[in-house]
Structure 1
Amino acid sequence: MDVAIIETSGLGDRSYLVAHDGVAVVIDPQRDIDRVLDLARERNVRITHVLETHLHNDYVTGGLDLSNIVGAEYAVPAGDDVGYPRRAVADGDVIDAGPIQLEVLHTPGHTHHHVSYVLRDSGGDVHGVFTGGSMLFGTTGRTDLIGPEDTEELTRAQYHSVHKLADRLPAATPIYPTHGFGSFCSATPASGDESTIGEQRTTNPALTQDEQSYVDELLAGLSAYPAYYAHMGVINSEGPQPADLTPPEPIDPAELRRRIEAGEWVVDLRNRTMFAAGHLQGTLGFELSGSFVSYFGWLYDWGAPVTLIGESRDQIADAKRELVRIGVDRLTGAATGDIDDLRDGAPLGSYRVADFAQLAEARSAETVAVLDVRQTHEFEQEHIPGAANIPLHELPGRLGDVPAGQVWVHCASGYRSSIAASYLDRAGHDVVLIDDAFDKAGELGLTKQ
C-alpha cells in the first residue's frame, strides 16, 4: 500500500494518492490537479475514487474536476449541500476500491459534517487514517470557521472526534492530515512531519487534557484567519471551475503605468529587498515565497483584476498556480524583465532596509516610530515598548492610525513587514523595512514581555 504525499507548502496543506495493485484513490486534492495526474501516470495507476474529508475553507478543491476527468466516483461528506452529483458518505460507509478499502468515520469539529477515512487492505488490516482537519500532528483543526455561534459546539465535537479516532485505531496507525503544515486551518501550530495514533495519545491536547481544559485552551488560542476563507466554502459547494494555468497576457510599460494610475491591483513578486531598492510607484510588494498566497488572499480585494510583475515568465507561472488554488482567477496581465525597463519614464520608488541592530542604534539617538504588524496575540506576548501594533490584515483600513514621521516596520521574520512597507510607501509614508528575525530584537534588549 503506497501513500504518496502531494505537498502544497504555500497553504500548509497535503493531498494524498493511495496506490495498490494498479488502483489509486485521491484524498483532498488541490485545484491544480495536473500534479495528481502526473503522479498517477508515474505510478501507472488508475484513479477510481476521489474523496473529500470536508468542504475546504482554505483552498478551492480539484476533486470535482479530477473525478470528471478520470471518471472516478466522487465522495463528499453527507450533510454538505453541494450543487453537483457526488456520493454522499456517512459514518460507517465503506469506499470499495478493490484492493483499497476506506471506512468513513464521522469526525465533526473542523466542520459539522467532516469525515475521516480509515485505510485498509482487502484483508481488513489498517494502513493509516486520513484525518483532514480533525486530528493533526500535536494539535487539531480550528473550530471557528463556520461561525461564532457554532464554535464552542464544534470545539467539543472536535474533542470527541479525536478520541473516537484514538479509541478505534491501533497505536501504530499512521495519520495523514490535510492541514497542519503552516495552514491557518490548524488551531495551533502543528509539530513534526509524520505521526501515529500512539504518538498522538501522548502529545495531542485533545487526548492529554480533559474536555473543558481542551475547550478553554483552544478557544483562548484562536487567532485571526485569512479573509479569503469566506469565499472558499461557497466556491467548493457550488462546484469549482477547472483551474486555468495558461500564462497571463503580457503587457507593455505604458499599459502597466495606466493600470497603476487607475489604482488597480498591480503586484510585484520580486524579492523584498529588490522591491525596496527600486519599484514602480503605486505597486504592492508580495514576495513570491512561502507565505505568499495566504497573505495575498487575506489582503486581496475579492474579484478585482490583478496584474503581476515578475523577474521571469516562470515566476509569473508559479504565482498564477498559487493564486488559482484560492480562486484568484482575474489575472489580467503580466510584465517581466528589469524593473528599470518597465517604468515608462517614471521615477522608481525606494525605501531603506535595516535590521534590529540598526533600529537599536537609531532609538539611542532619537525617538523613532515603530510599527509592529504581527497579530495581536503575538504583540501581547512580547513587543518593543512604544511600538504601535496594527496587524497586517488590518493595515489597509487603518492607514490613518500609522504614526507620523519616519516609520520603522517589523514583523516576526520580515515577510509581513515587507508587504506592509509597500502599502505604507504607496500611501506616501517615509518607511524603513526591518528585514530581520524578531528574536534578534529580544537578544538586543529591545523587547518586553
Structure 2
Amino acid sequence: MKIEQIYTGCLAQGAYYIVSDGEAAIIDPLRETQPYIERLQKDKVKLKYIFETHFHADFVSGHVDLSKKTGALIVYGPTAKPEFDAIIAEDSQIFEIGAVKIKILHTPGHTMESSSFLLIDEKGNEKALFSGDTLFLGDVGRPDLAQKAAHMTQEELAGLLYDSLYQKILPLDDEIIVYPAHGAGSACGKNMQKETVDTLENQKKTNYALNQNDKTSFIKAVTEGLLPPPAYFGMNVAMNKKGYDSFDEVLSKGLHALSPEEFEETVEFFGALILDVRNNDDFAKGYIPQSINIGLDGDFAPWVGALIADVKQPILLVTDENNEEETVTRLSRVGFDHILGFLKGGFTSWKKTGKEIDRVHRISAKQFEDEIRDKNVTVIDVRKDSEYLAEHVDNAYSKPLAYINNWMNHIEPSEHFYLHCAGGYRSMMAASILQARGFRNFTEIEGGFNAIAQTDVPISDFVCQTKVLNSIK
C-alpha cells in the first residue's frame, strides 16, 4: 500500500493518491489530469475510484475529466446530487482498492454532502482519515458556505459539524493519521496549522474546535470571526456539481498567441480584462494601461478569485515568456476558463511598438521616511486586519486588499495617500486596480511594511478603532 499527499501550495490544497495491488484511488484531484495519468502509467496501476469529499468551493476538481479519461468511477458521500454519473455512497459503505478498503463516513456540517474517508489497511487496521473540509489541522471547515443550499443557518450547520466530529471522528483511534483537504492559507478555514499531516491524537490536544466544553461553545467558537467568502466560491461549487469544459480545451484556447495589434483588438471587441502576471517590480516600471497585476509568484489563483470574482470574465494575459501554460493552468484551477490568449513576446513586444504604457509611482521605504517626516499624511495598509493589529505605521488606515471594491469608493481623489502591504505583492495589485479605476494621486511603497520596519518611520501596535473601521474621508 502507498499513500501520497500531492500538495499544491498556491491553493493550500491536498489531493491524495492511494495504490494497492495494481489498483489506485485519487481523492480530490486538481483540475489538470495529465500528472495523475502519468503517475498511473509509471506505477502500472489502474485507477478504480475518484473520491470527492464534497463539492469544493475554492477550486475546480479534476474528477470529471479524470473519470472520462480513465473510466474510473466518481464517488460522493450521501445526499450529493451531481449532474453527471457518480456513485452516491451510503454512510459506512466500503470500497475496495486492491487489498485495502475505504469506508465512507458521512460528516455533514461544512456542506451537507461532506464526507470523510477512512482507510483500512491489508490487515484490517484503521490507518488514515482523509477528512476533506470537515477536519483541518488546527481548525474545522467553516459552516457558513452552504447556508443557502442547505436552507440552514451557519449556527445550524455548525451544530451538524459538531455532531459529525464528536460522533464519527473523535471516537477513532488516536494513532490514525489525518490527511485534510487544505492547509494554512486556505479561505475554507480561519485557524489552520502550517503542517499538512498529523495524528488524530495531536489534533485532539491542539485543535481549538475539538476542545470546547459543549456544543454551544463549539458553535460559538467556529462561527466567530468568519470573513465573507470570496465571490467566486459559489461559481466553483456550480462547476464541480454540474461539470465543466475539458481542461485540454481551456488550455488550447488560452495558449493562443496574439500580436500587440491583435491583442488590442481583442480587448476592445470582447471587453476583455488584461491580467498581467509579472512580478510587481516589473509591473511598476511599465504596463499596458488598464491592466490588473496579480503576480504568478504569489497566491495567484486565490487572489484572482477574490479580485476578479466572475469566472466568466474574458481574460487576456501578459506573462513572462514560457509562463503562459502555467498561468492558464492556475486560472483553470479556480474556474477561470475564458482565457482568450496571451501577448506574444510579453510586455517587451508591446513596448517595442511604441504603444501607450502606464506606470505606478513607487518609492523606496527610505524615500517614504524622508517624505513623511514632520508631515500629516494618509497611509493605507492593505494587509489583513490581523497583520495590521500586530504592528503598523502610526495612524495608517487598515484597508485589506480583499475589500478594495468597497473601500476605494470612499477615497477622496484629490487627497494624496501612500499605499503599502507586507512586501509589495498585494499593494501592487491594489495600485493596478486603483489606477484602472481612475485613481492616480497615490504613491506605492516598494518592499511594503517589511522594508518600512527597517527605517525610523514610527511603528505602533496601538489600535485606533476609527482608523480600522471608518471610511477614508
TM range (shorter): over 0.9
> What SS class does the counterpart of residue 127 from structure 1 fall into?
strand
Change (3 A) 1:156 1:413: farther
Structure 1 residue 336, shift from structure 2 partner:
3.7
CA-to-aligned-CA distance 1:153-212 (integer Å, 9 cap, x gap): 122222332333543322111111111242111232333232011111110112222233
- 1: CA distance, partners of 2:447 / 2:219: 35
CA-to-aligned-CA distance 1:320-366 (integer Å, 9 cap, x gap): 00111111111111014352431432342212334555434332143
1:68 maps to 2:71: no
Map 1:117-132 to 2 at 5 A. Answer: 117-132=117-132
Structure 2 residue aligned with 1:390: 399
1:348 maps to 2:357: yes
- 1: CA distance, partners of 2:355 / 2:71: 54
Structure 1 residue 266, shift from structure 2 partner:
0.6
Where structure 1 has 5 or more consecutive residues not aligned to the other structure, the ranges are: none
Given residue 270 of structure 1, which amino acid in structure 2 is its aligned partner? R
Q: Tell me if the contact between 1:143 and 1:187 (Cα under 8 Å) persists in the aligned partners.
A: no
Structure 1 residue aligned with 2:234: 230
Map 1:101-250 to 2 at 5 A. Answer: 101-147=101-147, 149-211=152-214, 212-244=216-248, 245-246=251-252, 247-250=254-257
Structure 1 residue 31, shift from structure 2 partner:
1.3
After alignment, is 208-217 or 276-285 more displaced? 208-217
- % identical aligned pairs: 28
> What SS class does the counterpart of residue 123 from structure 1 fall into?
coil
Structure 2 residue aligned with 1:271: 279
- 1: CA distance, partners of 2:366 / 2:125: 58
- 2: CA distance, partners of 1:336 / 1:405: 39
- 2: CA distance, partners of 1:75 / 1:292: 30
Map 1:309-320 to 2 at 5 A. Answer: 309-312=318-321, 314-320=322-328
Given residue 328 of structure 2, which amino acid in structure 1 is its aligned partner? K
Structure 1 residue 141, shift from structure 2 partner:
1.4
Aligned equivalent of 1:334, options 317, 335, 342: 342
Change (3 A) 1:169 1:435: farther
> What SS class does the counterpart of residue 256 from structure 1 fall into?
helix
Change (3 A) 1:196 1:165: farther
CA-to-aligned-CA distance 1:80-127 (integer Å, 9 cap, x gap): 222112111132111122312001111112112211010012331122
Change (3 A) 1:130 1:258: same
- 2: CA distance, partners of 1:351 / 1:194: 42
Structure 1 residue 408, shift from structure 2 partner:
1.7
- 2: CA distance, partners of 1:231 / 1:261: 26
Map 1:24-103 to 2 at 5 A. Answer: 24-103=24-103
Given residue 262 of structure 2, which amino acid in structure 1 is its aligned partner? E
- 1: CA distance, partners of 2:337 / 2:220: 39
Q: Tell me if the contact between 2:257 and 2:343 (Cα under 8 Å) persists in the aligned partners.
A: yes
- 2: CA distance, partners of 1:340 / 1:102: 53
Structure 1 residue 283, shift from structure 2 partner:
1.1
- 2: CA distance, partners of 1:364 / 1:189: 40
Given residue 372 of structure 1, which amino acid in structure 2 is its aligned partner? D
Structure 1 residue 446, shift from structure 2 partner:
2.2
- 2: CA distance, partners of 1:99 / 1:319: 39
Structure 1 residue 415, shift from structure 2 partner:
2.0
Structure 1 residue 440, shift from structure 2 partner:
5.8
- 2: CA distance, partners of 1:94 / 1:192: 29
Structure 2 residue aligned with 1:425: 435
- 2: CA distance, partners of 1:108 / 1:127: 22
1:256 maps to 2:251: no
Structure 1 residue aligned with 2:291: 283
Given residue 401 of structure 2, which amino acid in structure 1 is its aligned partner? L
Q: Tell me if the contact between 2:311 and 2:337 (Cα under 8 Å) persists in the aligned partners.
A: no
1:434 maps to 2:437: no
Structure 1 residue 382, shift from structure 2 partner:
5.0
- 2: CA distance, partners of 1:441 / 1:144: 37
Q: Tell me if the contact between 1:121 and 1:127 (Cα under 8 Å) persists in the aligned partners.
A: yes
Q: Tell me if the contact between 2:144 and 2:154 (Cα under 8 Å) persists in the aligned partners.
A: yes
Q: Tell me if the contact between 1:251 and 1:335 (Cα under 8 Å) persists in the aligned partners.
A: yes
Where structure 2 has 5 or more consecutive residues not aligned to the other structure, the ranges are: 464-473
- 2: CA distance, partners of 1:392 / 1:85: 40
- 2: CA distance, partners of 1:393 / 1:95: 42
> What SS class does the counterpart of residue 153 from structure 2 fall into?
helix
Structure 1 residue 436, shift from structure 2 partner:
3.1
Q: Tell me if the contact between 2:56 and 2:237 (Cα under 8 Å) persists in the aligned partners.
A: yes
- 2: CA distance, partners of 1:340 / 1:147: 48
> What SS class does the counterpart of residue 101 from structure 2 fall into?
strand
Given residue 184 of structure 1, which amino acid in structure 2 is its aligned partner? A
RMSD value over aligned CA atoms? Answer: 2.3
Structure 1 residue 20, shift from structure 2 partner:
1.5
Q: Tell me if the contact between 1:226 and 1:295 (Cα under 8 Å) persists in the aligned partners.
A: no
Structure 1 residue aligned with 2:466: none
Q: When the two structures are aligned, how many residues end up with a matched partner?
A: 448
- 2: CA distance, partners of 1:328 / 1:6: 22
1:306 maps to 2:310: no
